[in-house]
A and B are shown apart, each in its own frame.
Chain A
Amino acid sequence: MRHFVLFLAVIFFGLFLAVLNRSDSQSGSGVPTLRVFGYASFTGKWGAGPLLKNEFEKSCNCKVEFIEGSDSGILLQRLKIEGESLGADLLIGLDQFDLAKATSEQSWRKLSLGELNVYESVKPALVNSYFVPYDWGTLTFVARKNESAKLPESLDDLLESEWTRKIALEDPRTSSPGMQFLNWVVRSKGEQEGFEFIKKMMSQVHSFAPTWSAAYGLFTNKQAKLVYSYSTSPLYHKFEEKNDDYISLKFKEPLAVQFEFMGIPEFCRNCDLAEKFVNLMLSPQGQKIIMEKNYMFPVMKGVAENTEFAALMEEVQPMDQVEIPSSAEVDRLLKKWTELRRGDIN
Chain B
Amino acid sequence: MNLRSLLRIGLVLFFLFPFIFLLTQFRISESPDIEELLWAFRNSFSQAFLSALGSLVLGVWASLALLSGSDSGGRRRFLKVMCLFPNFLPPLFILLAALNFLNPFPMGLTGISLVHIVMNFGLVAVLMTETIEVRLGGVTELAYVEGAGRWQFMTQVFLPVLRKDFLHIFLFVFVICFGSFSVPLIVGGIHGTTVEVLIYEKIRMSGDWGAAVVLALLQSVFIFLISFVAFRGPVPALQKITNLSLIKNSSGAVLIIAVMGAIALSYAQGLYRGLTQPIAWTIFTDDLWQATLGTVVLGLSVGICCYLGLLLIAYCSPKSWFERFLTGYVAPSTALACFSVLIVGPNEGVIPFIKIPLAITLLSLSSLYRMGWSTELQALRSQAQISYSMGASSWQIFTEIIFPQVTTRAGFLSGLAAVWACGDYAVSRILAHRDLSLGMMTETLMSGYRLNHAILMSSLIVVVAGLCFAFFVGGSRVLRRKFSP
Direct contact of A and B (CB under 8 A): yes
Chain A interface (Cβ < 8 Å from any Cβ of B): 13, 16-18, 20-22, 24-25, 39-41, 43-47, 65-71, 73-74, 76-78, 81-82, 85-86, 101, 105, 165, 171-174, 179, 202-203, 205-214, 216-218, 220-221, 223, 233, 236-237, 240-242, 295, 327, 330-331, 334, 338, 341-346
Q: Do B192 and A24 have beta carbons less than 8 Å apart?
A: no
CA distance A241 to B186 in the complex (A): 27
Q: Is the interface of B mostly helix, strand, loop or mixed?
A: helix
Chain A hits for B206, CB < 8 A: 327, 331, 334
* Residue of A216, A342, A345, A346 ringed by the most chain B CB atoms within 10 A: A345
Given A25-B349, A207-B186: A73 and B277 interface contact (C-beta under 8 Å): no
5 contacts between A and B (CB under 8 A): A22-B349, A47-B444, A207-B186, A210-B197, A345-B189
Q: Is B63 an interface residue (CB 8 A)?
A: no
A182 to B151, CA, bound (A): 56
> Of A22, A25, A173, A208, which is within 8 A of B200 by CB?
A173
A218-B191 in contact (CB<8A):
no
Smallest beta-carbon distance B340→chain A, Å:
10
B15: min CB distance to chain A, Å: 22
Q: Which of B96, B347, B434, B445 contacts A66 (CB 8 A)?
A: B434
Which residues in chain B, 415-433, are within 8 Å of chain A measured between CB atoms?
426, 429-430, 432-433
Please count the residue pairs between chain A and chain B whose beta carbons lie under 8 angstroms apart in the complex. 212
B162: Cβ under 8 A from any A Cβ? no
- Asked if B43 CB lies within 8 Å of chain A CBs, one says yes
Interface string of B187-217 (1 = CB under 8 A from A): 1111111000100110111110100000000
Interface string of B134-153 (1 = CB under 8 A from A): 00000000000000000000
> A46 and B450: CB pair below 8 A?
yes
Please, which residue of chain B has its CB at the minimum distance from the CB of A26? B349
A41 lies within 8 A of B444 (CB): yes
Most buried by A among B105, B107, B201, B435: B201
Contact: A345 with B282, CB < 8 Å?
no
Interface pair A220/B349, CB less than 8 Å apart: no
Once A69-B429, A73-B203, A81-B343 are accepted as A-B contacts, the answer to whether A236 and B449 lie under 8 Å apart by CB is yes
Once A171-B185, A217-B92 are accepted as A-B contacts, the answer to whether A70 and B429 lie under 8 Å apart by CB is yes
Kindly list chain B residues whose C-beta atoms are within 8 Å of the C-beta of A40. Answer: 429, 435, 440, 443-444, 447
Q: A39 to chain B: which residues have CB within 8 Å? A: 447
Within 8 Å of chain A (Cβ to Cβ): is B411? no
**Interface of B toward A, CB cutoff 8 Å:** 36, 39, 42-43, 46-47, 92, 96, 99-100, 104-105, 107-109, 112, 181-182, 184-193, 197, 200-201, 203-207, 209, 277-279, 282, 285, 287, 293, 297, 335, 339, 342-343, 346-350, 353, 426, 429-430, 432-435, 440-441, 443-452
B39, B181, B185, B335 — most chain A CB neighbours (10 Å): B185
Cα-based distance from A165 to B186 in the complex (angstroms) = 12
**With A174-B185, A218-B186 in contact, is A346–B109 under 8 Å at CB?**
yes
Contacts A44-B444, A217-B451, A334-B205 given; indicate if A74 touches B348 (C-beta within 8 A): no
Known A207-B185, A345-B112; judge A46-B434 contact (CB<8 A). no
Complex formed: what's the CA distance from A71 to B207 in Å?
13
Contact call A25/B205, Cβ cutoff below 8 A: no
Other-chain residue from B277, B287, B440, B444 in contact with A241 (beta carbon distance below 8 A): B277
Nearest B residue to A37 by beta-carbon distance?
Answer: B433
Complex-state Cα separation, A212 to B186, whole angstroms: 12
- Point out the residue from B39, B184, B293, B430 that lies within 8 Å of A343, measured CB to CB: B39
Expressed in whole angstroms, the Cα–Cα distance for A343 and B443 within the complex equals 32
Shortest distance between the CB of A2 and any CB in chain B (Å): 12
Chain A, residue nearest B342 (CB): A81
Within the complex, what minimum Cβ distance (angstroms) separates A234 from chain B?
11
Asked whether, in the complex, the Cβ of A77 is within 8 Å of the Cβ of B203, the reply is yes
Residue from A74, A208, A218, A341 in contact with B96 in the complex, judged by beta carbons closer than 8 Å? A218
Complexed CA–CA distance, A273 and B188 (Å): 47
Residues of B close to A165: CB separation below 8 A: 104, 107
Complex contact B429–A341 (CB within 8 A): no
Minimum CB–CB distance from A236 to chain B (whole Å) comes to 5
Are A342 and B204 in contact (CB-based, < 8 A)? no
Query: Given A341-B190, A344-B191, are A20 and B353 also a contact pair (CB < 8 Å)?
Result: yes
Smallest CB separation, A52 vs chain B (Å): 15
Give every chain B residue within 8 A of A77 (Cβ-Cβ): 203, 207, 209, 339
Q: How far is the CB of A326 from chain B (nearest CB, A)?
A: 12
Residue with the highest number of chain A CB atoms closer than 10 Å, among B279, B433, B445: B433
Cα distance, A210 to B43, chains bound together (Å): 17
Given A25-B349, A74-B430, A214-B186, is A221 in contact with B96 using a C-beta cutoff of 8 Å? yes
**By the criterion CB–CB under 8 Å, are B448 and A342 in contact?**
no
Given contacts A77-B203, A171-B185, list 20 more A-B pairs with CB under 8 A.
A65-B433, A66-B433, A68-B435, A70-B447, A73-B203, A74-B203, A82-B343, A105-B207, A203-B190, A209-B186, A214-B92, A214-B182, A218-B99, A221-B96, A241-B278, A327-B206, A338-B201, A341-B190, A342-B191, A343-B190
Q: Pick the contact of A17 from B335, B347, B350, B446 — CB < 8 Å?
A: B350
Instruction: Assess the A341–B282 pair: CB atoms within 8 A.
Output: no
Q: Give the distance in Å from the alpha carbon of A33 to the alpha carbon of B96 in the complex.
A: 42
Chain B: which residue is nearest A166 at the CB level?
B104
Chain B nearest Cβ from A230, distance in angstroms: 10
Identify which of A24, A65, A76, A217 gathers the most chain B CB atoms within 10 Å of its CB: A217
Closest 8 CB pairs of A and B: A21-B349, A44-B444, A173-B201, A41-B448, A73-B204, A41-B447, A343-B191, A213-B446
Shortest Cβ distance from residue B213 to the other chain A in the assembled complex, whole angstroms:
13
Q: Which residues of B contact A18 (CB under 8 A)?
A: 350
Rounded to whole angstroms, the CA-CA distance of A342 and B191 in the bound complex is 6
Contacts of B448 in A (CB 8 A): 41, 44, 46-47
Asked if A327 and B207 sit within 8 Å, CB to CB, the answer is: yes
Give A209 to B95 CA distance when docked, in angstroms: 12
What chain A residues lie within 8 Å of B47 (beta carbons)?
345
Which residues does chain A contribute within 8 Å of B181, judged by CB atoms?
210
Instruction: Name which residue of chain A comes closest to B193, CB basis.
Output: A341
Given A101-B207, A217-B92, A345-B43, A211 and B447 contact (CB-CB distance below 8 Å): yes
In the bound complex, residues from chain B placing their C-beta under 8 Å from that of A207 are: 107, 185-189
Cβ of B443: which chain A residues have Cβ within 8 Å of it?
40, 70
In the complex, the chain A residue whose C-beta lies closest to that of B186 is A207
Inter-chain CA distance A41–B282, complex, in Å, is 15
Residues of B within 8 A of A344 (CB): 39, 42-43, 46, 191
Distance A341 CA – B194 CA, assembled complex (angstroms): 11
List chain B residues, Cβ under 8 A from A173. Answer: 197, 200-201, 204-205
Q: Please determine whether B287 and A45 come into contact, CB atoms closer than 8 angstroms.
A: yes
CB neighbours (8 Å) of B186 from chain A are 207-210, 214, 218
Which of chain B's residues have a CB closer than 8 A to the CB of A76? 207
